[in-house]
Amino acid sequence: MEEARARELVERAPIGIYRTTRDGRFLYANPAYARMLGYETVAEVLALDVGLIYADSEDRNRVLDAFQRLGELHDYEVRLRRRDGSTLWASFDMRPAPGDTPDAPAMEGFIRDVSESRRVEDELRKLSRAVEYSPASVVITDLKGTIEYVNPAFTRITGYSRDEAIGENPRILKSGESPPEAYSALWDAILHGREWHGEFHNRRKDGSLYWEFASISPVVDAEGRTTHFIAVKEDITARKEAEGALAKSELYYRSLIEHALDLTAVLAPDGTLLFVSPSAERMLGIRPEDAKGRSAFELVHPDDAPQVRERIVGVLTRGARFEQVEFRARHSDGTWRTLSAIGKPLPPEAGIQGLIVNARDLSERHELEAQLRQSQKMEAVGRLAGGVAHDFNNLLTAILGYTELLLSDIPPEDPKTAELNEILTAAQRAAALTRQLLTFSSKQIVQVEILDVADTIHGMEVMLRRVIGEDIALTARVPADLGRIRADRSQLEQVLMNLVVNARDAMPKGGTLRIEASNVTRAGPNIDDDAGGDSWVVLAVTDDGVGMDEKTLRHMFEPFFTTKAKGKGTGLGLATTYAIVRQSGGFTEVESSPGSGTTFRVFLPRAKETSPPPRERSGVRRIPAARGSETILLVEDEALVRKLASDVLTGRGYTVLAAASGAEALAVVETKADVIDLVVTDVVMPGMSGPDLAARLSAIGLDTPVLYMSGYAESDSGGLLPAGAPLLQKPFSPDALARRVRAALDEAAGS
C-alpha cells in the first residue's frame, strides 16, 4: 500500500526523477522527465542512451567527472537537448542509487528545467550592468524616501559617493531653487501609483547648481503593493544653459528686428509674406499680423513688380543674394513709398524654402535730395538772374538817364515829350522787373528793422481788398500777442501782396481769402541751412480756389514758371516771395491739391525785441541838386554808364576825370591826386574792385571820400564793401546822381 502511494507521488511529481546505470542506460524516468525533454512517453526516454540528452558530449563527461569526484551532485546546471533539437538549462541533483555496487552501479536523482530562471538571471545581470554604466543617475528609495541604491552616474553628477548617499534622503540635493509645488505634485503622483516627470534645479555636494530631468515611479511587488520608488534622472544643465543662451540670443535678435528702422520680411517662393517685422506699421502703415499671409506683390507698384519678381526668382533658383533693388511700395494711406531692399535665401536649417528681405525707406532721403537739387537749381538760377539784372541795370541807367536829360532839354508842349515819357515808363517798368530779379537772387537793397506784422497786415487791408475785387471775401485774423520780426518793410509787403494776388488768380469765380498770423515754436527744415531757431511768426494765406497738382507744386517757386495765360504774368511773384523769405532767414510751406484750395505758410524768425523803434514821420529829405565846381574821379567799366555819369556831372559844373578800370584810375591819380575831391566808383569791375581801389588810394595817402555805385544791393566782391559806405543803386536818375555827389562832398567838407 505505502509503496503504491510512493510510486504515485513519483509519477505525478512536477520535476523530473530518473535512475540510470553508470554506463548510460536509463533504468527509470517519470513522466515529468519525459515532458521536459519533449517526449510523449516514458518508454521513448528509456530507449535512449543517456549521452544523447546532453547538448554536448563534453557536458556528459563533466557531469560524470564531477559525480565521480564528489560522490553526489546538487544543483549542478548543464545544458540538455530536447527531442526537437532545442536546448534547455537543467539543474541536476545526483546520488548513487540504492543497491549500487561495483558489479551493478546505478545513479538516481532529480532534474529541474531552469531555463527561465537562467533567462531572468541573465536579464537581471544585463539590467544591472546597464544601470551601473548608464549616463543617467538612478536612485532607489524605500517608501519613506531613504536611499537604498545609487548608481555610479549619481556619484559622478552629484559628487556624493555611494556610501555617503545610501541611508540619506534625496533632499540632500535640494537647492531651494525649485518651487514647493513641484515636490507636492511629485509625492501626489507616486503615492497614488503614477509616474511623475519634471525638472529640478539641484545642488551638488560642492555647492554648485545643476539641472536634472527626473522620471520617478513606484516599484510594486507581485501583489501590486508599492515597495520602493525608483528615480531615473538626466543631467540637463548643458541643455538648459544652451536654451538660456538661445533664449537670450533670440531676445537680442528679436529686439534688433522689432526696434530696427528697416523692415525685415520672410517670403515664400510665391511671394507670400511669412513674417513681417513691426517696422512695417511705421513704414507702410500695415500691422505685421495683417501683412502675414498676403502676397508681397500686392504692395509693389505694378511698374516695379517685374524687376522685384525677377530678383526673387534669381535668389531661389541660383541661391545668390540680390543687392539694392529699389521699388515703390503702397502705404496703407494710398501713397507710394520708395524702398531699397536686399535679400538672400533662407538657410537650410530654417526647414522651409524662401528668402529673407531687408528693406529701407528711402522716401524721405529722395525727397530731401529733390529739395536739395531744387535749392541748388534755385540758387544757380538766382546767380544767373542777379548777373543779368546787374548788366541790365547798367543799360537801364543809360536809358533812364539820357531820357530824363532829353526831357529836361525840351518844353513840355513839345510833341516828343509824350514819346520820351513812354520810353521813360517802359524803362521804369524794366527797372521794377530788375528789382524783382535782384530780390530773387537775394541781392536787392534791404533796410532791416523790427516790424509789427499785425500793423503791416492791417495797414494793407484796404489796398488788398481793392486788388482782389468785390467777388472775393477777405478775412484777416491776427492775435494780439503776435511776435515781431526783423525784416525789410517793403519786402514783407511785397510777400503779402504776391501771395494775395496768387490767391486771387486761383479764384476766377470768386471765393474766400483768409489771412492769418500766429506764433509757432518748432524746428526749421534741415534742407534750409539759413533757417534756424525754433520760434517763428507764421503768416498764412489760404484760398478756396482751384488748387495745384503735384507738378505745379514742384515748380511753383521757380523763376518764370507760371500757369497763367501768355502775357498775364511774369512768373516771378512766388519766386520773389521764396527769395525774400529765405533772405530773411525763414522758410515756406505749401498745402494744396486740385479742387481743394491752397494754403501758403511763411515762417519768419521771431525777433527778441518786443516792440519796433519809433518810425520817422517827416518823409524823405531831398537834397537839392546843387551845382559844383569840384573835381571828381569817375571809375566805371561800363562805357554807357561812364559817359552818362560824366555828362551829368560835367553839366552840373564839375570837372570829371573818367577811368574805365581801377588800373586807369591809379594812373590818373599819379598826376592829378592833388585836385581830386571825390571818387565815384563802381563796386564790381574786372581786375580790381571799387573797394580794392579805395584801399590802394588810401595806401598812397589819398584820403578822398568815395561814393560807390552798384547794380547789386551788396557786391559779389567777397563782402569788401566797407560797412556804412555810401552806395548809389543802379539804375539811377541824373538828379539822384547829382544829389548823392553833392551830399558826399558836403559831408566830407563838414567833417
Considering the chain, what is the average pLDDT of its residues? 84
Mean pLDDT of 455-466: 86
Q: Could you tell me if 623 and 664 are in contact, meaning their C-beta atoms sit under 8 angstroms apart?
A: no
654/628 Cα distance (integer angstroms): 5
**483 and 527 together in one domain:** yes
**156 and 299 together in one domain:** no
Asked, for residue 320, whether it belongs to a domain, the answer is yes
Band the pLDDT of 167: cuts 50, 70, 90.
Answer: very high
308/438 Cα distance (integer angstroms): 49
Asked, for residue 696, whether it belongs to a domain, the answer is yes
| Minimum mean pLDDT range among 184-193, 612-621, 661-670 | 612-621
DSSP bridge pairs for 655? 631
Report the candidate in 213, 59, 196 with the shortest Cα–Cα distance to residue 137: 213
**588 and 477 together in one domain:** yes
556/53 Cα distance (integer angstroms): 119
194/244 Cα distance (integer angstroms): 31
Mean pLDDT of 690-707: 91
Question: pLDDT value at position 319?
Answer: 66
Distances (CA, A) of 617 to 492, 612, 620: 20, 14, 9
What count of other Cβ atoms lies within 10 Å of the Cβ of residue 117?
13
Q: At what angle do helices 573-583 and 416-440 cross, to 10 degrees?
A: 50
Q: Could you tell me if 147 and 170 are in contact, meaning their C-beta atoms sit under 8 angstroms apart?
A: yes
Last residue of a domain, one of 318, 336, 361: 361
**457 and 598 together in one domain:** yes
> What percentage of the chain reaches a pLDDT higher than 90?
36
Q: At what angle do helices 416-440 and 363-409 cross, to 10 degrees?
A: 160
Q: What is the pTM of this model?
A: 0.42
CATH code of the domain in which 743 resides: 3.40.50.2300
Which residue type occupies 98?
A: P
CATH code of the domain in which 601 resides: 3.30.565.10
Asked, for residue 197, whether it belongs to a domain, the answer is yes
Question: pLDDT value at position 177?
Answer: 87
Mean pLDDT of 419-432: 77
The pLDDT of residue 270 is above 50: yes
Question: pLDDT value at position 210?
Answer: 93
Strand ranges across the sheet with 196-203: 147-150, 137-141, 226-235, 209-220, 196-203
**707 and 640 together in one domain:** yes
Peptide bond into 731 cis (omega under 30): yes
The pLDDT of residue 531 is above 60: no
Per-residue three-class SS string for 88-110 = EEEEEEEEECCCCCCCCCEEEEE
Q: Which domain holds residue 73?
A: 2-120
Q: Alpha-carbon Rg of the chain, whole angstroms?
A: 57
- Give the count of domains, the chain: 5
Q: Is 389 exposed, middle or buried (0-12, 13-18, 19+ CB in 10 A)?
A: buried
623/742 Cα distance (integer angstroms): 8
Asked, for residue 229, whether it belongs to a domain, the answer is yes
Question: pLDDT value at position 305?
Answer: 87
The pLDDT of residue 611 is above 70: no
CATH code of the domain in which 297 resides: 3.30.450.20
